[in-house]
Amino acid sequence: MANSKYTREEALAFHLEPTPGKFEIQATVPMTTQRDLSLAYSPGVAVPCEEIAANPELAYDYTNKGNLVAVISNGTAVLGLGNLGALGSKPVMEGKAVLFKRFADVNSIDIELDTEDPEAFINAVRLMGPTFGGINLEDIKAPECFIIEQQLKEVMDIPVFHDDQHGTAVICAAGLINALHLSAKKIEDVRIVLNGAGAAGIACLELLKSMGARHENCLMCDTKGVIFQGRTEGMNQWKSAHAVKTELRSLEEAMRGADVFLGVSAKGAVTQEMVASMADNPVIFAMANPDPEITPEDAHAVRPDAIVATGRSDYPNQVNNVLGFPYLFRGALDVHARAINDEMKIACAEALAKLARLDVPDEVAMAYGRKLTFGRDYIIPTPFDPRLIHVIPPAVARAGMETGAARRPIVDMDAYELSLKSRMDPTASILRGLNARARNAQARMIFAEGDDIRVLRAAVQYQRTGLGKALVVGRDEDVKAKLEGIGMGDAVRELEVVNAAKTDKLDEYKAFLYRRLQRKGFDRHDIHRLAARDRHVYSALMLAHGHGDGLVTGATRKSAHVMELINHVFDVDAEHGAVGITALLHKGRIVLIADTLVHEWPDEEDLANIAMRGAGVARHLGLEPRVAFVSFSTFGYPRSERAEKMHRAPKVLERRGVDFEFEGEVTVDVALNARAQESYPFQRLTGPANVLVVPARHSASISVKLMQEMAGATVIGPILSGVDASIQICSSNFTASDILNMAVLAACKVG
């Protein structure tokens, strides 16, 4: 997967809009009436205060402490950028906080401390202890980070974890367990060379030694060469702890016959000659960011038997901290841990290693565009594996319980795993999977409305995110002027601007259109006007002739009008089975509503067709379809001729013998609420419906817009289904990112 390109302007806009920064705080309790306020604050709040004062453990029950982690830095070693200072590090710490939320549903707040004095830093963090359930230290330079972490661990009774050290160490250990498994070697026998004696390097070696690697088998190197006993130059107490008796002095000498190389140093530190001199089946973790010590291509060129991992997402085996810290803290918080100890880190590494050896679920393979199976190119799970959340934290929690770090052990582990499964928002992984499938498809996407600034932004993003080629229908000078107007003039060269004046295919297009429309009252003059002057028709003709793979249109005109124009080229109408299906994403749930685009007042046969199209789209999105025909009545009560067709539609599906669950007619609450379904023990759905077939287009439109305006649901669609080509029609109120979502759906051929 290529690293996506972005400009400075895009990165700044991402952090500026819709509000400055990357997260906000929301209340979890009602705050509307006077009574709510008097419970939330004075005088009602006095009761939990007194309880906690008498028994501090109860803070985990009555406050957010048990699911709150602080991400704390002084900005002395920000990413690869060096000492940017406390304020300069804030965007990174905010980013870390949202990763906690996205991957493990851990609430997190960033704190930037404006001091380079370790004592002042330690004191500040120590005093904040009562607020948090855990402390994640980040981007603090060595050797201060060792002093800070060590002392905070001693004085605080909550986990203190420096992710740059231990996060990297845990993922590195997980990968190494599997790499040694594949090369049939034991950790206590292998010779390990580490290059880079900073925070991450020292932590990696310490963790591996606590897992069985022998001190005398581990050589640590820095910019001055091997760290040997008796060396005085550039030493400190943390390096000295790993000094060994040896005659070897340079990295080159150390690498001869080594089984494992771990790099947390700099680009190009390892040569092909060094790799060639290693033992059989060498393991090379070149983790320098953004560029590895040696690229996998260069390593494999001299040693095809090497197992290589890097820190990058565009190579296999990414050593990515996001596989570790969210789940380590999730498990630690859930047992109210006093610390994250070595045993918990090792449990995390072993659970990750074991997960990579299991069969990979289809949605992960789909997201990565290739079948992942345990082997040399897949020794570490991918960050978007949905099993991480319910596999890793229980392993960490168990280790915490077994070693006495847990204040409140988990009694029912099965129930805990279930609760973890339900914590995560499935919509995130669905969108992620679609994006990855689109990137794999590399579709040439036709954006029909090149005179609209939102469409141009979406087209630029489509191309820069590495999804494929963007073809924009418009006039060159107009596209150039509009992009320059929003400070994206450099994007002009990247996009391909297409129009009727520039093509040599216009006669071919017109002949095709004339064959379709000659018996529908169109003469050759009408055909020329449509093909040469109407961008919707021109775009559809490009698509029909294979001069693009997908089409996105409709952002500037009413969808009914756009459908009419496209219908000149493709059959996008009710009688040919076209259906519009809108996806609503809200609070971690996804529900499809149909038909939102084509059928005005469908009969029961149409409704059955709509249900089948809806089930098809659900499967495309990775959902197992459960269809409900919804109405204002449930199973015939109250009786009404308006609801009669909803009652008959399921019988049509029964006759057709479809292979998905369906039920109806039912009210929306019975369709979506498992508790409400219990009142009807005979109903056939095994859980809440995820496809709602509504009686008419007006009810579809009202439902979608009400959810969007009142509940703040994310709307994707309507997704056009049942047409021979991949066409998606936007709404005129769409933003650039909505239009990009439609392009992703078109690239994935959803529908």
Write out the catalytic residue numbers: 41, 96
Tokens 């050589």, residue located: 219
Tokens 């009555």, residue located: 62
Measuring CA to CA, which residue among 445, 742, 729 is closest to residue 561? Answer: 729
- Hey, what are 425's tokens? 């928002």
Separation CA 332–CA 393 (nearest Å): 8
Question: What is the enclosing helix (H) or strand (E) of 476?
Answer: helix 476-485
Strands 661-666 and 626-630: parallel
Tokens 């029961």, residue located: 604
Separation CA 382–CA 371 (nearest Å): 12
- Structural contact between residues 288 and 313, judged by C-beta atoms closer than 8 angstroms: no
- Structural contact between residues 90 and 110, judged by C-beta atoms closer than 8 angstroms: yes
- What is the phi/psi pair of residue 732, to 5°? -70, -15
- Hey, what are 533's tokens? 């002057």
Cis status of the peptide bond prior to 409, with omega within 30 of 0: no
Instruction: Please report how the helices 90-104 and 388-402 are oriented relative to each other, as an axis angle in degrees rounded to 10.
Output: 90
- Hey, what are 223's tokens? 């910019």
Tokens 């216009």, residue located: 506
DSSP line for 508-533: HHHHHHHHHHGGGT--HHHHHHHHHH
Measuring CA to CA, which residue among 114, 41, 45 is closest to residue 73? Answer: 114
Instruction: Report CA torsion sign: 17, 23, 25, 27.
Output: positive
- Hey, what are 72's tokens? 């704390």
Check residue 66 and give left, alpha or beta (phi > 0: left; psi -120 to 50: alpha). alpha
Instruction: Please report how the helices 524-533 and 535-544 are oriented relative to each other, as an axis angle in degrees rounded to 10.
Output: 90
- Hey, what are 387's tokens? 């099993």
How far apart, in Å, do the first and last CA atoms of the chain sit?
Answer: 25
Measuring CA to CA, which residue among 30, 106, 165 is closest to residue 331? Answer: 106
**Amino acid letter, residue 320:** N
Separation CA 120–CA 30 (nearest Å): 39
Separation CA 748–CA 751 (nearest Å): 9
DSSP line for 208-274: HHHTT--GGGEEEEETTEE-BTT--TT--HHHHTT-B--S--SHHHHHTT-SEEEE-S-TT-S-HHH
- The distance of Cα 135 from the centroid of its chain, to the nearest Å, equals 24
Question: What is the enclosing helix (H) or strand (E) of 566?
Answer: helix 559-566
DSSP bridge partners of 219: 193
Helical segments of 71-114, H only? 85-88, 90-104
- Structural contact between residues 520 and 697, judged by C-beta atoms closer than 8 angstroms: no
Looking at 384-465, which runs of residues are DSSP E strands? 445-447
- Structural contact between residues 51 and 327, judged by C-beta atoms closer than 8 angstroms: no
Separation CA 50–CA 43 (nearest Å): 12
Separation CA 341–CA 164 (nearest Å): 16
